[in-house]
Amino acid sequence: MTSVPLLLVGASAREVAARADLAGLAATVPGAEVAFLQLGDPSLSGALTRLADTGAARVDVVGVSLGPLAPGATWVRRVAGHWWRERTGDRPVVAVAPRLLGELDAAALHDVRRDARPLTGAEPGLTSAAWEGVTHHRRQLLVCRGPRCTARGSDATAEAVVLALVEAGCTDDDVLVTHTGCLLPCNHAPVVVVHPDDAWCGGVTPEVGRRLVAAVLDEGGDLAAAGLPLLPR
């Protein structure tokens, strides 16, 4: 009996960093592979295209979130639904789990996968009136998620920054947080850049990240005076 292909889809940058761990779980399930919703390859859409082109009749999709900042399971279904509507030629049945897998455990994966529901084509699209305009943010924080920063804990840094902003009641129209690839001064990882100040901070641990948020939210505050580890420019 041929196994139904399974895509374990990392939902955030944290899962991209944990690629080897996801691959280890996939290796325990016949026909399982790893893909990513963002920031990693192969993408969910690319993996679905390859499986469809090789004649798969059905593909099961399970999103994976190992931290608190991943988008919801609805985004996995939304992206898969967009692919399914746009697919030309033969389309496999694509069944998407309604919740994200939160631990790399084979039994938990089985439970989540069991509830996967086939796409119908009526899933929400990738656009919305709410996403039409550029946000009116006062500052933007670029959090490096390149290989060196990730190895030195930028996942925890990013979480600390975002959660500190949430606790302060901020939205993207106040401070916009953007996860990036390598920002290059890798010896100072983890790196966070503040714009429009063009202030580069190195060694941004979670504790430093929280101090950075406090300084950024201080109207008229001087980042240098806040004792942050600013890199020379």
Last residue of a domain, one of 84, 118, 152: 118
| 113 and 143 within one domain | no
SS percent in the chain: helix, strand, coil, step 5: 35, 20, 45
Reported confidence tier of residue 1, pLDDT bands at 50, 70, 90: very low
* Whether pLDDT at 221 is above 80: no
Q: Which domain holds residue 157?
A: 134-226
Last residue of a domain, one of 57, 92, 118: 118
Greater confidence (222 vs 214) lies with: 214
What does the pLDDT read at residue 24?
98
What does the pLDDT read at residue 139?
93
* Whether pLDDT at 107 is above 60: yes
| 161 and 62 within one domain | no
pLDDT (tens digit per residue) in 108-122: 999 999 999 999 999
The mean pLDDT value for 95-104 works out to: 97
pLDDT (tens digit per residue) in 33-74: 999 999 899 999 999 999 999 999 999 999 999 988 888 899
Quick check: is 125 in a domain? no
* Whether pLDDT at 2 is above 70: no
E strand intervals along 14-154: 32-36, 58-64, 93-96, 117-118, 139-144
| 16 and 114 within one domain | yes
Query: How far is 219 from 73, CA to CA, in rounded Å?
Result: 36
